């Protein structure tokens, strides 16, 4: 049995190894258009490769997928983070968990993951070909496939497409008859030149709430001020969930920040009144409250019209309301986005309705399988994108190799 895997990334390698393990007699070839394999794994997670996330409840896990959450629920029960950890451990790679749940190789080097995948393909005599861009695939008699590269024409009993976010492959697949959900960027940071954030680059708050009032989308988490605007998990999560809406707005939109998390304006107002009476003799600006970084507090107070030496006792109602607004519903005009260098992905790809998620096979064509980012699946940051690639690769490859589906 000949299997061709198109694309030598995370999903492709996992898929190829799974075919081999399910069927030791299978002949497997990975065709990679670039001159080396696993390039994204290499640069992932800042060079450390955030392999997966320590989230072991399937329902909880699927909440991290703006696209694909429903479809991945079944596959994750078969191959989720627990199985990923075991898979790597059985091949000599131990993963460690950071305080926020992200999992990395103990070595903190993505090369460890690459070496592990590489050794497994060598062990199974998987044929690895670089500089082999696939231009065309077409069904031939007997539910087999013809695969045309720039240099040769090959035939296969099964094809697994793991080309990530490749426009050319999506165009080719749409000509074949698959519906492609148009690709847009996901996981990006927000740009703003707002005066209140000038000179605050590097400041972080541990649990802010960020809201897109026009789209009723919201997320909570750490927030970071950068030289260009705003980043951190709270922003990245929002960029993923609202990827399509923000693209439609050409990345010009309104954002409000509650620097204190999910406290209501009403409760915040009451707390400010309490502070006013408790600290009446103290200067407002000089004494940062709510554990906020001093420079952020000063900037928000200044924006609320509070003079440098004003004491809490002398703060009028208008100033108190303005401070409440700056702290709990701080409005920003976002103009543009920047790439989050640690991890970025594309929302969009093959329409999930056309995939059988028991084995990741096309519902339109027998013996044509897909896994990874080529599908309209993507996640928030934290190791979830690789998890989807491992899961899809393992299930698709196992099915091609004849492992019984559960």
What are the residues binding ligand FAD (CB under 6 A)?
Answer: 6-12, 31-34, 39-40, 43-45, 49-50, 133-134, 162-164, 166, 168-169, 342-345, 372-374, 383-386, 389
Q: How far is the CB of 277 from ligand FAD (least distance, A)?
A: 49
Helix 39-47 vs helix 110-123: angle between axes, to the nearest 10 degrees? 150
- Residue 14 or 312 with smaller CB distance to ligand FAD: 14
Task: Round the CA-based radius of gyration of the chain to a whole number and report it.
Answer: 25
Within a 13 Å sphere around the CA of 242, how many CA atoms are in the beta-carbon half? 30
Return the number of the residue (143 or 171) whose C-beta is nearest ligand FAD: 171
Report the residue number, 169 or 234, with the smaller CB distance to ligand FAD: 169
Residue with Cβ nearer ligand FAD (349 or 401): 349
162/319 with CB nearer ligand FAD: 162
User: Cβ 42 to ligand FAD, closest distance in Å?
Assistant: 9
- Contacts with 109 (C-beta within 8 Å, 6 or more apart), sequence order: 47, 48, 49
334 Cβ contact partners less than 8 Å away, ≥ 6 residues apart? 190, 191, 192, 229, 230, 251, 252, 253, 254, 255
Q: Are strands 229-231 and 188-191 parallel, antiparallel or unpaired?
A: antiparallel
- Residue 8 or 105: which CB sits closer to ligand FAD? 8
Least distance to ligand FAD from the beta carbon of 259, Å?
A: 28
For residue 160, which of 371, 372, 401 has the smallest C-alpha distance? 371
Closer CB to ligand FAD, residue 112 or residue 325?
Answer: 112
Residue 313 CB, shortest distance to ligand FAD, in Å, is 51
Q: Whose Cβ is closer to ligand FAD: residue 185's or residue 328's?
A: 185
Q: Which residue bears the tokens 């990874």?
A: 372
For residues 18 and 371, give the distance between their C-alpha atoms in angstroms, rounded to a whole number. 12
What's the rounded Cα separation, in Å, for the pair 336 and 147?
Answer: 40
Tokens of 388: 């989807």
Q: What is the dihedral of CA 303, 305, 306, 308, to 10 degrees?
A: 80
Please state the closest distance from residue 230 (CB atom) to ligand FAD, in A.
Answer: 19
Residue number with CB closer to ligand FAD (237 or 272) = 237
Q: How near is the Cβ of 173 to ligand FAD at its closest, in Å?
A: 11
CB-nearer residue toward ligand FAD: 34 or 336: 34
CB of 366 to ligand FAD, least distance (A): 22
* Cβ atoms within 10 Å, residue 291: 9
User: For the chain, how long is the longest CA-to-CA vector?
Assistant: 87
For the sheet with 2-6, list strands across it: 127-129, 27-31, 2-6, 158-161, 368-370, 361-362, 355-356
User: For ligand FAD, which is the closer residue by CB, 29 or 385?
Assistant: 385
Beta carbon of residue 216, minimum distance to ligand FAD (angstroms, whole number): 27
Burial (CB < 10 A; 0-12, 13-18, 19+), residue 222, is: middle
Nearest approach in angstroms of CB 381 to ligand FAD is 7
Please check whether residue 380 is in contact with residue 232, taking contact to mean a CB–CB distance below 8 angstroms: no
In angstroms, give the least distance from the CB of 220 to ligand FAD.
21
- Cβ neighbors of 321 (< 8 A, separation 6 or more) are 269
What's the min distance (Å) between Cβ of 354 and ligand FAD?
17
Q: Which of 40, 59, 100, 386 lies closest to 234 in space, CA to CA?
A: 100
Contact in structure between 110 and 49 (CB atoms under 8 Å): yes
């Amino acid at each position: 049995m000949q299997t061709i895997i198109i694309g030598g990334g995370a999903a492709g390698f996992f898929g190829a190894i799974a075919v081999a393990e399910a069927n030791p007699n299978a002949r497997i070839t990975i065709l990679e258009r670039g001159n080396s394999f696993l390039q994204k794994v290499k640069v992932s997670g800042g060079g450390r490769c955030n392999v997966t996330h320590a989230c072991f409840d399937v329902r909880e896990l699927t909440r991290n997928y703006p696209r694909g959450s429903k479809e991945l629920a079944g596959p994750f029960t078969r191959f989720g983070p627990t199985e990923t950890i075991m898979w790597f451990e059985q091949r000599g790679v131990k993963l460690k968990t950071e305080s926020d749940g992200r999992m990395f190789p103990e070595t903190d080097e993505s090369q460890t993951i690459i070496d592990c995948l590489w050794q497994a393909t060598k062990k199974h005599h998987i044929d690895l070909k670089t500089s082999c861009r696939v231009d065309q695939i077409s069904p031939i008699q007997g539910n087999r496939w013809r695969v045309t590269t720039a240099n040769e024409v090959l035939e296969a009993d099964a094809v697994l497409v793991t080309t990530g976010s490749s426009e050319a492959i999506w165009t080719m697949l749409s000509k074949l008859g698959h519906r492609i959900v148009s690709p847009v960027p996901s996981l990006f940071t927000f740009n703003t030149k707002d005066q209140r954030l000038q000179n605050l680059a590097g400041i972080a708050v541990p649990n802010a709430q960020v809201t897109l009032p026009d789209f009723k989308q919201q997320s909570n988490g750490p927030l970071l001020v950068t030289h260009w605007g705003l980043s951190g998990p709270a922003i990245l999560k929002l960029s993923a969930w609202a990827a399509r809406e923000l693209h439609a707005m050409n990345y010009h939109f309104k954002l409000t920040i509650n620097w204190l998390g999910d406290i209501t304006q009403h409760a915040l107002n009451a707390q400010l009144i309490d502070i006013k009476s408790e600290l009446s003799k103290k200067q407002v600006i000089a004494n940062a409250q709510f554990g906020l970084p001093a420079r952020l507090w000063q900037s928000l107070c200044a924006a609320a019209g509070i003079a440098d030496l004003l004491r809490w006792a002398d703060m009028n109602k208008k100033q108190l309301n303005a401070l409440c607004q700056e702290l709990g519903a701080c409005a920003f005009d976002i103009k543009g986005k920047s790439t989050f260098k640690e991890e970025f992905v594309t929302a969009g790809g093959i329409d999930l309705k056309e995939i059988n998620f028991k084995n990741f096979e096309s519902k339109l064509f027998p013996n044509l399988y897909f896994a990874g980012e080529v599908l309209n699946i993507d996640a928030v940051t934290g190791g979830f994108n690789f998890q989807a690639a491992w899961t899809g690769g393992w299930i698709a490859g196992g099915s091609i190799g004849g492992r019984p589906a559960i």
